[in-house]
């Protein structure tokens, strides 16, 4: 009884030699026999017995059969030469005396494939692909019976085997696949017979390597051109370089120049260099600068290959100063300077304290934090104003300035303070039967909430009053702050008193209320009159750049008076005013003279004058006087009186001449009549 051990399929190409191997080795007492069965229904026919071929076989078959192998080792294989289609069938090897039986199915290949080819491969034997994408490799055989096997190898490694055609996908091919050899073979795997093959080489479009900057760090100074280069290598085809700036990735490629690409024949790749020249603004400090490269291998993947560097932009500082609010009760008052630049190491220069209108009040040594000197509580309001900090960090700005400045406002809220000009006007003046405005100027931050006028201690009702009207309005005054006279924002508080009577010349007190203690100021209203217009205002002398005028003082209105001269070049609109002297109420009146100097040579000047007393009453102007300064080579001195005198003299002379002429005519006519009568 025999046991079936193994069934194998064996193929042979028509006309070739096929060896059917029996896996058993025959000992002396055993022997190996081969049988053939043409079909499942046909009987088995013995072919061999040991080394002997069955003599009853057809002669054309018998002549092509041979028992081969190492007989000494017990090998008894069956070889068939000039294999024919009729040789196909089931061959059985039996080792007698054992249970060993092996069946081999011989298939005869009557037609091998006529050709095999890799798809999408040109005459240059390149299979094209793109780095980062899938590469599909297809290979097909034409013809073959039975259907041939098609085997695909990449770099001599089998990656796929299939019938008639094969397809294999290389996922996300990378640079390491570039240049690898592909081989496609057609034949029959079971007999290791592959008579046909086709080859190609993988040729990829390669992305550029990440670009390299020309320096490890990117440092520049604001408003000065940054010049930096970037190089991309390893691309196929050649790449182009682009530049992006900041979080918004602003494209600044237009400010770059790109050199022609260079080719590396050993790798068939390209390198390209771009140089950017761009003036950076401080807003990009700490932001990214991106150098990117792109070619056909990157376009379908959303962009290019990029390298970024963080920008270090040095710039002159912007300076801000904390605007702080204090009260007069705050003993410690500080002003803080906040420069913002790169580098952030600063040199502080002198602080300046300025008025609201830009006038310098005082200066302090430079530092980041200014602690204001302590002063009496009621003087702390004088610390209000603009504080200017100056600092530098070694970088000049776009205006070529080394030192930068910034300012903030300090406000010290305090009780109202009466201005110096108010304190100097304890006495104010009015005229009987006229209206007078008595007023005070006050510095008040915050502005006083209300004010009340009193007459000799009795409150005055001003609402709907025909006698009194009160008002307040902003004004600008000059006063002394920390020893410096400057303009100050203040308020004018006025009481108008109508139709003054003798009994109205008393004391008037105004009380200001705020969030601080109330303040009061008393004004003594006194009677006063307007001084007279200076008399006999005339020219006394003239020179090249000066002239002297004279006048007679008039009544002073019972107060000390001051004389003022106004002058201008004839035809101009602006008057220049000079104080020409004082006259006290007890001073004896006398003719006054004054020399007006620093004039232009050879010009006609218009002059006029007036008087003003300490009751703030002003006279009207004199008539305009015309005076000529001398020109070189002349001695001209003309006044309006002289001109008028000359004109009048000429006119009088003409009148006298005409009158004389008329008289003579009349006399002659009279004499003529007398002669006729005789």
Say whether both 235 and 308 belong to one domain.
yes
- How many CB atoms within 10 Å of residue 141? 26
Say whether both 100 and 163 belong to one domain.
no
In the predicted model, residues of the chain with pLDDT beneath 50 are 1-4, 635-652, 657, 663, 671-678
Q: Are 33 and 46 in contact (CB under 8 A)?
A: yes
Q: Are 398 and 359 in contact (CB under 8 A)?
A: no
Using the 3D structure, point to which of 474, 499, 527 is the last residue of a domain: 527
Residues shown for the chain: 678
Please state the φ and ψ torsions of residue 280, each to the nearest 5 degrees.
Answer: -90, 145
Please report, for the domain that includes residue 348, its CATH number. Answer: 2.60.40.10
Say whether both 645 and 634 belong to one domain.
no
**How many whole angstroms separate alpha carbon 647 and alpha carbon 636?**
17
Say whether both 539 and 609 belong to one domain.
yes
Q: Are 284 and 276 in contact (CB under 8 A)?
A: no
Say whether both 262 and 172 belong to one domain.
no
**How many whole angstroms separate alpha carbon 650 and alpha carbon 646?**
6
Please give the pLDDT value at position 663.
47
Q: Are 443 and 490 in contact (CB under 8 A)?
A: yes
Using the 3D structure, point to which of 527, 555, 590 is the last residue of a domain: 527
Count the domains in the chain. Answer: 7
**Element at 648 (helix H, strand E):** helix 640-677
DSSP string computed for 296-351: HHHHTTTS-EEEEEEEEEEEEEEEEE--EEEETT-S--EEEEEEEEES---EE--E
Residues 6+ apart with CB under 8 A from 128: 120, 203, 204, 205
Secondary-structure breakdown of the chain: helix, strand, coil percentages, each rounded to the nearest 5: 10, 50, 40
- Burial of 320 from C-beta contacts in 10 A (0-12 / 13-18 / 19+): middle
Residues 6+ apart with CB under 8 A from 1: 99
**How many whole angstroms separate alpha carbon 455 and alpha carbon 440?**
15
Please give the pLDDT value at position 145.
83
Q: Are 496 and 440 in contact (CB under 8 A)?
A: no
**Element at 221 (helix H, strand E):** strand 218-221
Say whether both 266 and 326 belong to one domain.
no
Q: If we measure between CA atoms, which residue out of 483, 459, 525 comes closest to residue 355?
A: 483
| End-to-end Cα, the chain, rounded Å | 216
Residue 661, SS3 per DSSP: helix
Please give the pLDDT value at position 675.
40
Using the 3D structure, point to which of 168, 187, 205 is the last residue of a domain: 205
Say whether both 146 and 196 belong to one domain.
yes
Say whether both 76 and 176 belong to one domain.
no
Please state the φ and ψ torsions of residue 247, each to the nearest 5 degrees.
Answer: -60, -35
Say whether both 252 and 346 belong to one domain.
no
**How many whole angstroms separate alpha carbon 228 and alpha carbon 276?**
5
DSSP letter assigned to residue 655 = H
Say whether both 72 and 57 belong to one domain.
yes
Q: If we measure between CA atoms, which residue out of 44, 28, 27, 24 comes closest to residue 36?
A: 44
**How many whole angstroms separate alpha carbon 534 and alpha carbon 594?**
13
Q: Note the pTM of the prediction, 2 decimals.
A: 0.61
Please give the pLDDT value at position 242.
95
Kindly list the distances between the CA atom of residue 525 and the CA atoms of 344, 403, 452, 499, in Å, as whole numbers in the listed order: 62, 54, 17, 14
Say whether both 140 and 189 belong to one domain.
yes
**How many whole angstroms separate alpha carbon 665 and alpha carbon 401?**
92
- Measured over the CA atoms of residue 387, residue 391, residue 397 and residue 402, the dihedral's sign is positive
**How many whole angstroms separate alpha carbon 142 and alpha carbon 121?**
17
Residues 6+ apart with CB under 8 A from 153: 159, 182, 183, 184, 185
- The sheet carrying 18-20 orders its strands as 18-20, 77-80, 65-68
Residues 6+ apart with CB under 8 A from 230: 211, 212, 213, 214, 241, 243, 273, 274, 275, 276, 291, 307
Please give the pLDDT value at position 109.
76
Please state the φ and ψ torsions of residue 20, each to the nearest 5 degrees.
Answer: -95, 115
DSSP letter assigned to residue 571 = T
Residue spans of beta strands (DSSP E) within 547-640: 547-552, 561-569, 576-583, 592-596, 604-613, 625-628
User: Between β-strands 193-205 and 126-130, what pairing exists: parallel, antiparallel or unpaired?
Assistant: parallel
Say whether both 271 and 283 belong to one domain.
yes
**How many whole angstroms separate alpha carbon 490 and alpha carbon 478?**
10
Rg (the chain; Cα; Å): 62
Q: What is the pLDDT of residues 395-437, one digit of tens each?
A: 999 899 999 999 999 999 999 999 999 998 899 988 899 999 9
- How many CB atoms within 10 Å of residue 486? 19
Could you list the residue range(s) of the whole structural domain that residue 307 is in? 212-314
- Measured over the CA atoms of residue 55, residue 57, residue 58 and residue 64, the dihedral's sign is negative
CA–CA–CA angle 170, 173, 178 (5° rounding): 110
């Amino acid at each position: 009884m025999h046991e079936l051990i193994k069934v194998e399929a064996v193929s042979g190409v028509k006309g070739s030699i096929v060896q059917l191997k029996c896996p058993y080795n025959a000992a002396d007492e055993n022997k190996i026999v081969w049988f053939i069965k043409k079909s499942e229904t046909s009987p088995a026919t013995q072919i061999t017995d040991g080394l002997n071929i069955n003599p009853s076989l057809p002669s054309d078959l018998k002549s092509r059969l041979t028992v081969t192998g190492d007989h000494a080792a017990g090998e008894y294989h069956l070889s068939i030469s000039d294999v024919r289609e009729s040789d196909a069938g089931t061959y059985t090897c039996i080792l007698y005396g054992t249970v060993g039986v092996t069946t081999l199915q011989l298939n005869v290949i009557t037609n091998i494939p006529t050709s095999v080819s890799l798809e999408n491969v040109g005459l240059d034997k390149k299979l094209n692909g793109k780095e980062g994408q899938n590469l599909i490799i297809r290979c097909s055989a034409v013809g073959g019976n039975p259907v041939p096997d098609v085997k695909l190898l990449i770099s001599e490694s089998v990656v796929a085997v299939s019938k008639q055609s094969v397809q294999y996908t290389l996922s996300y091919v990378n640079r390491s696949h570039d240049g690898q050899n592909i081989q496609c073979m057609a034949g029959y795997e079971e007999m290791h017979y592959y008579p046909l093959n086709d080859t190609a080489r993988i040729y990829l479009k390669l992305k550029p390597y990440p670009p390299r900057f020309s320096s490890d760090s990117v440092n520049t100074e604001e408003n000065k051109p940054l010049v930096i280069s970037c190089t991309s290598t390893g691309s196929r085809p050649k790449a182009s370089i682009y530049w992006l700036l900041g979080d918004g990735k602003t494209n600044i490629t237009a400010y770059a120049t790109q050199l022609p690409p260079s080719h590396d024949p050993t790798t068939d790749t390209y390198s390209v260099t771009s140089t950017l020249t761009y003036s950076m603004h401080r807003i990009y400090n700490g932001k990214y600068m991106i150098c990117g490269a792109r070619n056909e291998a990157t376009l379908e993947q959303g962009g290019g290959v990029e390298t970024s560097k963080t920008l270090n932009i040095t710039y002159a500082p912007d300076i801000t100063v904390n605007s702080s609010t204090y009260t007069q009760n705050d003993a410690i008052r500080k002003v803080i300077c906040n420069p913002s630049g790169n580098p952030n190491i600063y040199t502080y220069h002198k602080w300046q304290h300025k008025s609201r209108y830009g006038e310098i009040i005082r200066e302090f040594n430079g530092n980041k934090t200014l602690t204001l000197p302590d002063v009496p509580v009621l003087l702390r309001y004088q610390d209000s104003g603009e504080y200017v900090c100056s600092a530098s960090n070694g970088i000049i700005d776009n205006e070529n300035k080394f030192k930068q400045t910034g300012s903030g406002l300090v406000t010290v809220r305090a009780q109202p303070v009466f201005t110096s000009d108010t304190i100097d006007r304890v006495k104010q003046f009015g005229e009987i039967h006229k209206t007078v405005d008595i007023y005070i100027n006050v510095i008040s931050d915050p502005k006083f909430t209300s004010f009340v006028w009193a007459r000799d201690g009795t409150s005055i009702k001003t609402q709907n009053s025909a006698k009194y009207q009160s008002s307040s309005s902003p004004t600008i005054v000059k006063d002394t702050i920390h020893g410096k006279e400057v303009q100050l924002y203040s308020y004018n508080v006025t009481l108008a008193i109508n139709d003054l009577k003798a009994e109205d010349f008393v004391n008037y007190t105004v009380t200001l209320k705020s969030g601080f203690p109330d303040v009061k100021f008393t004004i003594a209203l006194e009677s006063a009159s307007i001084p007279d217009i200076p008399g006999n205002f005339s020219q006394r002398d003239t020179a090249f750049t000066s002239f002297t005028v004279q006048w007679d003082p008039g009544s002073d209105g019972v107060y000390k008076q001051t004389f003022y001269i106004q002058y201008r070049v004839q035809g101009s609109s602006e008057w220049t005013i000079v104080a020409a002297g004082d006259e006290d109420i007890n001073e004896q009146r006398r003719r006054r003279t004054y020399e007006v100097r620093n004039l232009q040579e050879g010009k006609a000047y218009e002059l006029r004058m007036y008087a003003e007393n300490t009751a703030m009453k002003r006279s009207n102007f004199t008539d305009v006087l015309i005076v000529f300064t001398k020109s070189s080579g002349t001695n001209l001195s003309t006044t309006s009186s002289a001109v008028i005198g000359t004109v009048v003299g000429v006119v009088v002379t003409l009148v006298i001449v005409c009158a004389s002429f008329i008289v003579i005519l009349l006399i002659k006519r009279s004499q003529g009549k007398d002669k006729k009568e005789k």
